[in-house]
Amino acid sequence: MFNRIIVPTDGSDYSWRAVAVGEALARQCAADLELVEVVTFANDVKRAEQLMKDRLADSPLSVLTRVRACVLERSVGSTIAQRVSNINGGLIVMSTFGRGRSEAILGSVAVDILAEMFGPVVAVGPKARTDRADLRGELIVPVDGSDFSESALSVAAAWGIGMEARPWVVEVLDPDLVRLEDVVESSYAARLARDLTRTSHHDAQYEVLHNKHPGRAIGGFAETLGASLIVASTHGRTGLARLALGSVAMEIVRHAPCPVVLSRPPALVGER
């Protein structure tokens, strides 16, 4: 599925939270793990790499782990994206609230990365469990009726196959809006679940939630379900209040009890 899992770090404990998730994915994908730090000057490369090695020595990992310091180019995000583009089958796993030189946080850095590549990027939010050694299980895909949000379904199908995860298609509706009967409003999610069953070879389920706050609702449902992953498009424009690089996507990551796989539709790569 992936050959190398790449985790941006910046020396902070927050950024290193993603290392445990990266290790779990590397183990399940039989992939190598690479820790990457972006430094400002070439003279900082050796020191940064030694500091990463020293920290690894205190917490040895069970997979082959490399360290690499990259000199800043246009931006931190573009530097990391360039590193991934040089590796066939690379996947980025990053913490959402890292603090330090490279600002390895979901926000400007993730936006830069996804603006230059298809993704996906696995975001490890503040409430995400990082002690889960096995990421197989239930996988949630939020949809909102837009083609952009539905583009995550193909990503979910691939992850469902590769990670042996059962997908759940989840739609969040505003409870104040006038709706038809539940059987009608759930037909959209049910149809997508049937399609996902065919493509993922797993028995996909669906759920319709009613909440003014989609991110919180999805996070709460993931907690109840014991989900291992959430897979979301980063630029839906309707219903789920824009699963965009910002508002709702950030809200989902903030409230998710598990990592969130963010994927940007190819048509939007390069768009700011």
pLDDT digits (tens, 9 = 90+) for 39-84: 999 999 999 999 999 999 988 888 999 999 999 988 888 899 889 9
Q: Is residue 17 within 8 Å of 97, Cβ to Cβ? A: no
pLDDT score of 23 more than 90: yes
Q: Is residue 9 within 8 Å of 37, Cβ to Cβ? A: yes
Spelled out in words, what is the top-level CATH class assigned to the domain 4-124? alpha beta
The CATH 3.40.50.620 domain(s) of the chain lie at 4-124, 138-268
* Model confidence band, residue 161 (pLDDT cutoffs 50, 70, 90): confident
Mean pLDDT of 124-135: 89
Which residue bears the tokens 């690379």? 90
Q: Can you give the pTM of this predicted structure?
A: 0.88
**Of 41 and 184, the one with more pLDDT:** 41
DSSP line for 122-184: EEE-TT-----S---SEEEEEE-SSHHHHTHHHHHHHHHHHTT-EEEEEEEE-TTS----HHH
- How does strand 138-143 pair with strand 166-173? parallel
CATH number of 138-268: 3.40.50.620
Which three-class secondary structure state does DSSP give residue 43? helix
Q: How many of the other CB atoms lie within 10 Å of CB of 270?
A: 10
Among 15, 234, 219, residue whose Cα is nearest residue 118: 234
Which residues, in sequence order, are CB contacts of 109 under 8 Å at separation 6+? Answer: 8, 75, 76, 77, 80, 94, 102, 103
pLDDT in tens, 189-199: 999 999 999 98
**Of 174 and 18, the one with more pLDDT:** 18
